[in-house]
């Protein structure tokens, strides 16, 4: 028997997606702040401490510790619960914060546990526990970058994560290993073994233009991969905004800026 609320949903859009959650009377969905888009009149919005799941049974201090760990992932101590307090089905819609895709995850079909990037969680059925997952290996802790502290989603309900660019889903067989840029990982199932590996080679280190380390994911299990991590997008925008413009027809060099009116 399921312990989480059972919700229906529809995903709209292509590059800037949103997810419409349909709630029966007394059903609730939880979401991170900033993801709300719109809701029907009889939906009641309430700020809650932590994620509202029943896994935090240690009284107030247990809830405080559980919620406090979320600060390590850059999230708030509080989440927002949206409940249908009316008669009949009602809808609430959440939007992805940047161009990409929304991935629906049925935790009941995924062994009840998913590990995802710390900024990937969008919303979930009430009862889903949203916590943190430390990668315990020393190499992962020292060099993991974006992949060291991740979120874990636990329960038997629906959860939704968002990712940048195009999404690829890979099913890894037992012992099969995939090497990925740490920022390109969106989520993976709990049986996946996660580690960090040094790229190696002096030329790769100095001239490669990529990170010195990448993630190794070993099956069995499923991995969701994004083509455009938000950190990579932000880095490129910052590069151009600070005058680090790279010329696409580099033969003209700085003269190109003068010809297109960008010279000063």
Mean pLDDT of 160-185: 92
Is the N-terminal amide bond of 220 cis, ω within 30° of 0? yes
CA-CA-CA-CA torsion sign (228, 229, 234, 235): negative
Alpha helices in 97-167 (DSSP H): 138-143
What is the 8-class DSSP label of residue 73?
G
pLDDT digits (tens, 9 = 90+) for 103-130: 999 999 999 999 998 889 999 999 998 8
**Rounded distance between C-alpha atoms, residue 264 and residue 252, angstroms:** 16
Give percent helix, percent strand, percent coil of the chain, each to the nearest 5: 20, 40, 40
pLDDT at position 141 is 45
Of 30, 183, 12, which Cα lies nearest the Cα of 95?
A: 12
Range name among 28-37, 56-65, 117-126, 224-233 with the lowest pLDDT average: 56-65
pLDDT at residue 4 above 70?
yes
pLDDT at position 191 is 94
**Rounded distance between C-alpha atoms, residue 95 and residue 187, angstroms:** 19
Range name among 44-58, 157-171, 220-234, 243-257 with the lowest pLDDT average: 243-257
Q: 221 falls in which pLDDT band (50, 70, 90)?
A: very high
The torsion defined by the Cα of 129, 43, 12 and 186, in degrees rounded to 10, comes to: -20
Mean pLDDT of 175-182: 91
**Is the separation of the CB atoms in 125 and 6 below 8 Å?**
yes
Mean pLDDT of 169-186: 93
**Rounded distance between C-alpha atoms, residue 39 and residue 163, angstroms:** 23
Name beta bridge partners: 11: 19
pLDDT digits (tens, 9 = 90+) for 9-41: 999 998 889 999 999 999 999 998 889 999 999
**Rounded distance between C-alpha atoms, residue 183 and residue 169, angstroms:** 15
Q: DSSP letters of 147-159?
A: GSEEEEEESSSEE
Mean pLDDT of 173-182: 92
**Is the separation of the CB atoms in 159 and 107 below 8 Å?**
yes
Name beta bridge partners: 76: none
pLDDT digits (tens, 9 = 90+) for 76-113: 567 899 999 999 999 999 998 888 899 999 999 999 99
Task: Share the mean pLDDT of the chain.
Answer: 78
Question: What's domain 8-242's architecture?
Answer: 4-Layer Sandwich (3.60)
């Amino acid at each position: 028997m399921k312990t989480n609320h059972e919700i229906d949903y529809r995903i709209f859009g292509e590059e800037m997606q949103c997810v419409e959650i349909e709630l029966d009377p007394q059903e609730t969905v939880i979401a991170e702040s900033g993801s709300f888009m719109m809701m029907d009149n009889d939906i009641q919005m309430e700020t809650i401490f932590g994620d509202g799941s029943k896994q935090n049974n240690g009284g107030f201090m247990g809830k405080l510790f559980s919620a406090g760990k979320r600060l390590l992932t850059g999230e708030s101590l509080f989440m927002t619960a949206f409940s249908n307090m009316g008669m009949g089905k009602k809808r609430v819609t959440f939007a992805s914060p940047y161009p990409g895709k929304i991935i629906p995850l049925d935790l009941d079909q995924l062994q009840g546990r998913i590990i995802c990037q710390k900024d990937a969680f969008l919303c979930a059925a009430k009862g889903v526990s949203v916590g943190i997952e430390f990668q315990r290996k020393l190499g992962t802790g020292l060099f993991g970058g974006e992949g060291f502290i991740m979120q874990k989603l636990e329960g038997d309900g629906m959860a939704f994560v968002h990712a940048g660019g195009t999404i690829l889903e890979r099913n890894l067989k037992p012992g099969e290993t995939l090497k990925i840029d740490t920022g390109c990982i969106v989520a993976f199932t709990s049986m996946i073994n996660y580690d960090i590996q040094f790229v190696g080679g002096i030329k790769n280190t100095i001239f490669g233009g990529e990170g010195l380390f990448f993630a190794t994911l070993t099956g069995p299990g499923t991995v969701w991969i994004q083509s455009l991590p938000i950190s990579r997008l932000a880095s490129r925008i910052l590069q151009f905004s600070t005058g680090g413009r790279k010329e696409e027809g580099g033969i003209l060099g700085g003269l190109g800026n003068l010809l297109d009116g960008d010279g000063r």
